[in-house]
């Protein structure tokens, strides 16, 4: 057995999650669910990054130990949010767990034994929010005229650190990395991210300081416990330790390396340069793809915990509901680009595309079937050109969505392909006017009505399958109200490729007028 293995970054527990973290995690969840709906075995990993100076300082400022702080944040903020957002991860790794720390020590010891690590000195500007030494080109000057150097990402002062540390011979991997990028053009996506990494590596890599001795909140360097392992080396290894590295060869073999690491563009270099070099150094296989999302911006800058500009996802789910929340950011922003959130835009799209588009279609079709056929889906009669053209639109929507979401991680394009089909089905009803056909007593009218409602209901069956990865709860409700659970079985057993198998919903399925899928915003009881 081999798994399609998808990961999110493991997030720092210095504070509660905001929209930005949820953005990457929801995208990963949609990808994982999509591949499950393709019938693949999927392993979806997320977790938390709990070591390093940033966490230590936050815990100290709050008067608790870093472990207590991490425990509190994981249990009270991070895990509950992922449950709330219906994230379907198969595992949750915390870097303070023994299953991780023991294996990190073994990995680093192996590198040391192979001569990949040496002791040296380093002095340079360090951004504790990035947990990274900065190069001169990565700094900006404070605008107050003081000339204070700031991290360009966080706009916070950097600190001059001077340490005697252990170093990994990263500089020796430049050519091999470039050769890998060349041979695997999809290794880093989107193309802008790939170009940035290629240019960075072409300029020449410096060796990487992989230990710290000025604080002790981390995994101890096995041969020199006065040092802890650099938090990024520790963190990246989660992708291996969580799937049985050095512990469960069968599981490791079936899962590692990841097919897709989803990351924000802020941490692209760690994943596209340092991580593959670490794997090369220990003779392990490289991941399939590293896909970087853009930033959600606030006031034109990256939304961030450190700068206290984070908006909590619950603020939005209370108003729009969980499924609309999952849908909105992937629908509104082309994956890979930066984007901003606005209440106006979310409200406008919710109303036109979900409530008036998708939701209205579902309620019209189920209500008419319940009314005109006593809730038993009628068998369709003779097909006309209108039905044939809808069939071909469904074929296109299914293959477009599958290619875009499942293969290209173009979530926006995939969602649009399905929404376009929703529009066509709504247009079909407008043209065919079943409410008029229902009143006609001309011969054949009843048969025609059956054909129209069957066609629309079977289209909804397909839409429920195609949108399940994005809006799982809505699809479940629709599936129920189409009577599909009793006639076709659970939604989770459906396959993407069957979405376009026209006529799959058996006549006689018990259709009921379900609850409104997307209530008008002013009607939401929890807003």
Query: Residues marked as binding for Zn(2+)?
Result: 127, 130, 151, 154
Contact letters (x/-) for ligand ME8, 212-241, by CB under 6 A? Answer: -----------------------xx-x---
Stretch (H or E) spanning 10:
strand 4-12
Residue 126 in contact with ligand ME8, rule: CB under 6 A: no
154 is catalytic: yes
Annotated catalytic residue: which of 18, 35, 54, 261?
18
Q: How far is the CB of 255 from ligand ME8 (least distance, A)?
A: 16
Distance of alpha carbon 264 from alpha carbon 438, whole angstroms: 53
Contacting residue, 4, 6, 24, 387, with ligand ME8 by CB under 6 A: 24
Pairing of strands 339-340, 296-298: parallel
Per-residue burial over 132-152, b if 16 or more Cβ lie within 10 Å, else e, is bbbeeebbeeeeeeeeebbbe
326 binds ligand ME8 (CB under 6 A): no
127 included as an active-site residue:
yes
**By CB under 6 A, which span of 10-18, 66-74, 154-162, 321-329 interacts with ligand ME8?**
10-18
- Answer yes or no: 261 catalytic: no
CB of 302 to ligand ME8, least distance (A): 4
Residue indicated by tokens 């990993």: 45
Rounded Cα distance, 97 and 221, in Å: 16
Nearest alpha-carbon partner for 173 in 269, 257, 292? 269
Write down the catalytic residue from 54, 130, 261, 265. Answer: 130
Q: Which residues contact 464 (CB under 8 A, 6 or more apart)?
A: 475, 478, 479, 482, 484, 491
Give the nearest distance from C-beta 383 to ligand ME8 in angstroms.
47
- Whether the CB-CB separation of 24 and 293 falls below 8 Å is answered with yes
φ and ψ at residue 66, rounded to 5 degrees: -60, -35
Query: Is there binding between residue 49 and ligand ME8 (CB under 6 A)?
Result: yes
Beta carbons within 10 angstroms of residue 388's beta carbon: 11
> In the bound complex, what is the minimum distance in angstroms from residue 27's beta carbon to ligand ME8?
9
Q: Does the footprint of ligand ME8 cover residue 47 (CB under 6 A)?
A: no
Cross-strand bridge partners of residue 10: 47
Q: In this structure, are strands 188-189 and 159-168 parallel, antiparallel, or unpaired?
A: unpaired
CA–CA separation, 182 vs 102, rounded Å?
35
23 binds ligand ME8 (CB under 6 A): yes
Interacting residues with ligand ME8 between 258 and 277 (CB under 6 A): 263-264, 266-267
303 near ligand ME8 (CB under 6 A):
yes
Using rule CB under 6 A, residue 295 touches ligand ME8: yes
Picking from 177, 186, 178, the residue whose alpha carbon sits closest to that of residue 260 is 186
Which of 35, 51, 271, 305 is flagged as catalytic? Answer: 305
Known catalytic residue at 423: no
Question: CB of residue 264 vs ligand ME8: minimum separation in angstroms?
Answer: 2
Q: How far apart are the first and last CA of the chain?
A: 45
Residue of the chain from 12, 329, 346, 479 that contacts ligand ME8 (CB under 6 A): 12
Stretch 160-219 residues interacting with ligand ME8 (CB under 6 A): none
CA distance to 71, 177, 344, per residue, from 96 (Å): 10, 30, 41
- For the question of residue 130 being annotated catalytic, the response is yes
Which of 262, 462 has the CB closer to ligand ME8?
262
**Smallest distance from the beta carbon of 269 to ligand ME8, in angstroms?**
11
Site size for ligand ME8 (CB under 6 A): 22
Query: Which segments within 142-185 are labelled E, that is strand?
Result: 149-151, 159-168
Return the number of the residue (37 or 134) whose C-beta is nearest ligand ME8: 134
Collapse the DSSP code of 211 into the 3-class scheme (helix H, G, I; strand E, B; otherwise coil) and give the result. strand
Catalytic amino acids?
Answer: 18, 21, 127, 130, 151, 154, 302, 305
Question: Where does this chain bind ligand ME8 (CB under 6 A)?
Answer: 9-12, 20-21, 23-24, 49, 235-236, 238, 263-264, 266-267, 293, 295-296, 302-304
């Amino acid at each position: 057995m081999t798994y399609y293995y998808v990961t999110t970054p493991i997030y720092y527990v210095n504070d509660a999650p905001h929209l930005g973290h949820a953005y990457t995690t929801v995208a990963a969840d949609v990808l994982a669910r999509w591949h499950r709906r393709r019938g693949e075995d999927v392993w979806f990993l997320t977790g938390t990054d709990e070591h390093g100076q940033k966490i230590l300082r936050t815990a100290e400022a709050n008067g608790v130990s870093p472990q207590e702080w991490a425990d509190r944040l994981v249990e009270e903020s991070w895990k509950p949010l992922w449950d709330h957002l219906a994230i379907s991860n198969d595992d949750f790794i915390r870097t303070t767990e023994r299953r991780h720390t023991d294996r990190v020590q073994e990995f680093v010891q192996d590198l040391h034994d192979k001569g990949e690590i040496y002791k040296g000195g380093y002095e340079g500007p360090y951004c504790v929010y990035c947990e990274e030494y900065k190069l001169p080109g990565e700094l900006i000057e404070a605008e107050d005229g003081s000339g204070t150097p700031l991290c360009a990402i966080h706009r916070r002062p950097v600190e001059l650190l001077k340490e005697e540390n252990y170093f990994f011979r990263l500089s020796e991997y430049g050519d091999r990395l470039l050769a890998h990028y060349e041979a695997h053009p999809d290794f880093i996506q989107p193309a802008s991210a790939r170009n940035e990494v290629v240019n960075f590596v072409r300029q020449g890599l410096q060796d990487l300081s992989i230990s710290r001795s000025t604080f002790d909140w981390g995994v101890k360097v096995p041969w020199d416990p006065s040092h802890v392992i650099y938090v990024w080396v520790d963190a990246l290894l989660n992708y291996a330790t969580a799937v049985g590295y050095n512990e469960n060869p069968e599981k490791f073999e079936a899962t590692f390396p990841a097919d897709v690491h989803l990351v924000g563009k802020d941490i692209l270099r760690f994943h596209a340069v340092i991580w593959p070099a670490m794997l090369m150094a220990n003779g392990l296989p490289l991941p399939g793809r590293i896909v970087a999302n853009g930033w959600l911006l606030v006031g034109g800058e990256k939304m961030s915990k450190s700068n206290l500009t984070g908006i909590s996802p619950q603020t939005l789910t209370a108003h729009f509901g969980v499924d609309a929340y999952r849908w909105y950011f992937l629908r509104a922003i082309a994956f890979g680009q930066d984007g901003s959130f606005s209440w106006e835009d979310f409200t406008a799209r919710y109303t036109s595309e979900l409530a008036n588009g998708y939701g209205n279609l579902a309620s019209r079709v189920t209500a008419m079937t319940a009314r005109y056929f006593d809730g038993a889906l009628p068998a369709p009669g003779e097909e006309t050109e209108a039905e044939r053209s809808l069939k071909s639109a469904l074929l296109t929507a299914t293959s477009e969505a599958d290619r875009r979401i499942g293969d290209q991680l173009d979530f926006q394009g995939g969602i649009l392909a399905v929404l376009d089909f929703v529009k066509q089905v709504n247009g079909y009803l407008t043209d065919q006017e079943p409410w008029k056909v229902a009143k006609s007593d001309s011969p054949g009218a009843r048969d025609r009505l059956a054909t129209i409602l069957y066609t629309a209901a079977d289209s909804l069956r397909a839409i429920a399958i195609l949108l399940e990865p994005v809006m799982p709860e809505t699809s479940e409700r629709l599936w129920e109200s189409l009577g599909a659970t009793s006639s076709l079985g659970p939604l989770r057993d459906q396959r993407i490729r069957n979405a376009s198998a026209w006529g799959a919903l058996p006549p006689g399925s018990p259709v009921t007028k379900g609850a409104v899928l997307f209530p008008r915003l002013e009607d939401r009881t929890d807003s």
